[in-house]
Amino acid sequence: MTYPLLRQCLFALDAERAHGIALNAMSFLESTGLLGVVAQPAPACPVEVMGLRFPNPVGLAAGLDKNGDHIDALARLGFGFIEIGTITPRPQDGNPKPRLFRLPEAQGIINRMGFNNAGVDRLLENVRAAQFPKRGGILGINIGKNATTPIDKAAEDYLICLDKVYNEASYITVNISSPNTKNLRELQKDEALDDLLAQLKARQLQLADRHGKYVPMTLKIAPDLDDTQIAAIADALRRHRFDGVIATNTTLSREGVEHLPNGGETGGLSGKPVFLRSTEVQGKLSAALAGEVPVIGVGGIFSGADALAKMQAGASLVQVYSGFIYRGPALVADCGRALAARHGTSPG
């Protein structure tokens, strides 16, 4: 069965139910050895970023596999790295359903999931059971705060998660840009951001001494930022010697989708509608950082050409999510081939 036909079947179902069915089916195929037969692996295109050697620069963004239940199955699809989460210290149900909506006319997705996850301890059990990290696969773990934690205590949640995941992660992402946890984006503002990054950096260095290894840390930002905010974030990233930045998360804008079914749903919009804005913010951030902090480009990648556009805007790596939902494993191979050709690596 080709992916377009499979997608047609999945899109006939409720979006969140289809998401679970697809992931469980992938894990089943992985357990039988059949997933590798149908996958379209990306060509080798090794790159070194944040002190890590990535087999190719095409990664899976956080959110698809929040609890790390499907790491090995996803790894079989040719990703150069996988990011799981967002995870919080305590399990939480997230926002009421329905909370995930497709906009097929625009190839977009709106979600207001609200960091639904089984808690950091469950994620760690899954990571330790997976083969991908044991084989040297690059695994990012994305951390957040519980919805019931007051915003002025948010740093405590991030530090709990950082402590727990440090030894199991290839890199750690600090998510302060989801629009679906009340007031979370306030942490992107000047004093709050400075205080949070200072605490996280100090703890990262303590953990590096304790564990005898340095695990890079990235910050994930929103696309809904003006030039002054972008410049301030760039300054904070440099000042606190963060290892990377992921640009961008979903947008609150509904430009171009307001008239579509589900276009007025609350939550974060991802997919093709966010591509231009996300790439613009990423480009401005890359220019402000001037190569001092590597950028991971994410937002609306649906083709190899889109991935190249992110690289031309200053990204060192890219991540996909909504495009993967719409195009399937072929997108990973498409992006991989385009970036391998850019790097002069044989796609053979």
Which sequence positions are flagged as catalytic? 178
For residue 231, what are its two tokens? 């410049």
For residue 2, what are its two tokens? 């080709």
> How many angstroms separate the Cα of 57 from the Cα of each of 9, 131, 343?
31, 21, 11
Do the beta carbons of residue 300 and residue 324 sit within 8 Å?
A: no
Q: What is the CA radius of gyration of the chain?
A: 19
Which H or E element spans position 144? none
Nearest Cα residue to 29 out of 75, 79, 73, 78: 73
Strands 100-103 and 108-111: antiparallel
Contacts by 207-212, CB closer than 8 A, 24 or more apart: 207/162, 207/163, 207/166, 211/166, 211/167
Angle at 79 between CA 73 and CA 82, to 5 degrees: 75
Q: Count of residues for the chain? A: 348
Classify 239 as helix, strand or coil. helix
Report the first-to-last Cα separation within the chain, whole angstroms.
25
